[in-house]
Chain A
Amino acid sequence: MGRIQLKSVTKSFGDVQVIPPLDLTIEDGEFTVFVGPSGCGKSTLLRLIAGLEDMTSGTIDIDGSDATDVPPAKRGLAMVFQSYALYPHMTVRKNIAFPLRMAKLDQAEIDRRVEGAASVLNLADYLDRRPGQLSGGQRQRVAIGRAIVREPAAFLFDEPLSNLDAALRVGMRLEISELHERLETTMIYVTHDQVEAMTMADKIVVLQAGVIEQVGSPLELYRTPRNLFVAGFIGSPKMNFFEGEEAAKHNAHTIGIRPEHIAVSNTEGTWSGIVSVSEHLGSDTFFHVHETGLAETLTVRADGEVDFRHGDRIHLTPRSDVIHRFDAQGLRIG
């Protein structure tokens, strides 16, 4: 139903090419996340798929038919915007019913679908309110409701959670994941937050400057990042990178080790350094270690019970089986 295929798509604004030729296939029913730093072209890519921006060249197939010149309304896609883009002068009911009214469905069908969406999203009590009277999370749900009543081939989400507070974001993340399990519709989700990408995605597309750096499942990206950029972007806290002598021992230009793959001890280890900051999260503790002779700062994750303080000497042992090796071009070796 919702297979989307991009073939050598490019986009330029004036002389600036923001998306160099790009190929990507999104399978039916897949939850795909576009992730990358600000300005990497992920939102532009989503808007190209939606049809809100015109492609400079290339083609896009939706459900096996060419949709390159099809206007946004006819592509059968529904979008949830960052600002929610609710219609402020309409009640929640009218907001959700708007796409159905535009499609000229009969009133009984419209009512049935709106009631259905409202019960799925717990909005039944708010149908006669206006968007201005709702909280951020409720507005977000109305925007999703407006998308699901259309029964689209695919949903497009443009950083939908960035305007919510941290607690609500975790809640909405779960709700969107559950919605995907229930509807089994293709979803494309744009975010700059790698945690959202890791927790929600079936497939992550990492973008930088309009170029796809890697495509894969969250764990593939975590375990075998294709290059330095992906290695540094996926995973929190960030992977540690060393060059020089330590890297040469592993026959690589650069090696990377994740903070969670380093064991700490106060007596012995491969490396040692001085703790500058320790962050206690309760479940975990993060140490920022200086004077290791390897890099400016080394980040290490330890159990919540481990107690080192500022200025303490700490000994570190990396797990040798999970050291990532990169060549001079930053590409993965082995």
Chain B
Amino acid sequence: MATQHSRSVARFMMAPAVILLLGWMLVPLTMTLYFSFKKYLPLRGGDLGWVGFDNYVRFVSSSTFWPAVQATLVIVGGVLAITVVLGILLAMLLDQPMWGQGVVRILVIAPFFVMPTVSALVWKNMFMDPVNGLLAHLWRFFGAEPISWLSEASMTSIVMIVSWQWLPFATLILLTAIQSLDSEQLEAAEMDGAPPLKRFYHIILPHLGRAITIVILIQTIFLLSIFAEIFVTTGGAFGTRTLTYLIFQRVLESQNVGLGSAGGVYAIILANIVAIFLMRIVGKNLDA
């Protein structure tokens, strides 16, 4: 009896938090779904009635849709590749015993604490400015013509900025994974005649496998929705309009709430597919 009582008391006391969180999720979700089936143009006549799946069809068949998908994939893929590869290398470097290890580790984490808007602005004005930017000075120092990064190499620039932000996350997760590797395994492999590169390939990389999967999935979820970096740098111009940015433009710039909401629903479905994979892998990790 006692346990049953305490269980119902526990449920009762948790209820406010659960209801709040549920509402926080359900209200926007329902509104998005609701608007996605409507022709709703706030400045051009407001609610113009139900249109069925019209918005969904129009969002996908628009000439901007596929370029936006491509831009999203390039950014997500590029950032993932850079952060995972550099993350593994940095993690192995930080795992070496060295003087000032604690300070170096904090410095490595630092970019993660900078707000996306701020870091994008710093990159835009301090590094990538074609006249006064540090990179422009560096180019001129070597006698080269400075690049106007954000217009000429817009995709590269955004991938660079976002990678800089996410590299600490990847490094941290991979570093903890590397630290859990039994050093006797590496010594055994050394005695078994494996040179350093083979030790990396046969021992370290398989050991990091699960950590790499987790880094990829978590980052994918967040990278699919990057917005501030694009908003403050290119504003979606020069081929950097991602799916998220397209939705933003549909809703706020074209003032077409219905069309934007339909795009939002596509994004929800996409993020959930990734999330299901993530939960399975994390769940498996907890079982083992």
Residue numbers of A with Cβ under 8 A of B are 50-52, 71-74, 77-79, 81-83, 85-89, 98-99, 102-103, 146, 150
A interface secondary structure, majority: loop
Beta-carbon contact of B184 and A83 below 8 Å:
yes
Contact partner of B188 (CB less than 8 A), chosen from A74, A79, A103, is A79
Asked whether B95 is an interface residue with its Cβ less than 8 Å from the other chain, the reply is no
Beta-carbon contact of B184 and A73 below 8 Å:
no
Beta-carbon contact of B188 and A81 below 8 Å:
yes
Beta-carbon contact of B193 and A99 below 8 Å:
yes
B interface secondary structure, majority: helix
Can you pick out 12 interface pairs between chain A and chain B where the beta carbons lie within 8 Å of each other?
A: A73-B194, A81-B188, A85-B182, A85-B187, A87-B188, A87-B189, A87-B203, A89-B209, A102-B194, A102-B198, A146-B188, A146-B192
What is the chain A residue whose CB lies nearest that of B192? A99
Contact partner of B193 (CB less than 8 A), chosen from A52, A85, A102, is A102
Query: How far is it, in angstroms, between the C-alpha of A73 and the C-alpha of B194 when the chains are bound?
Result: 8
Beta-carbon contact of B192 and A98 below 8 Å:
yes
| Residues of B close to A73: CB separation below 8 A | 190-195
As a 0/1 sequence over residues 10 to 36 of chain B, the CB contacts with chain A under 8 angstroms (1 = contact) are: 000000000000000000000000000
Beta-carbon contact of A103 and B184 below 8 Å:
no
Residue numbers of B with Cβ under 8 A of A are 182, 184-185, 187-195, 198, 202-203, 206-207, 209
Query: How far is it, in angstroms, between the C-alpha of A103 and the C-alpha of B185 when the chains are bound?
Result: 18
Given contacts A98-B202, A102-B198, contact A85 B185 (CB under 8 A): yes
Nearest-Cβ distance from residue A97 to partner chain B, whole angstroms: 10
| Residues of B close to A85: CB separation below 8 A | 182, 184-185, 187-188
Query: How far is it, in angstroms, between the C-alpha of A52 and the C-alpha of B193 when the chains are bound?
Result: 12
Q: Give 9 new A-B contacts, CB below 8 A, not counting A72-B187, A72-B190, A99-B193.
A: A52-B187, A73-B190, A73-B194, A77-B191, A79-B188, A81-B187, A85-B187, A87-B202, A99-B192
Beta-carbon contact of B184 and A81 below 8 Å:
yes
| Residues of A close to B185: CB separation below 8 A | 85-87
What is the chain B residue whose CB lies nearest that of A99? B192
| Residues of A close to B209: CB separation below 8 A | 89
What is the chain A residue whose CB lies nearest that of B186? A85
| Residues of A close to B188: CB separation below 8 A | 79, 81, 85, 87, 146
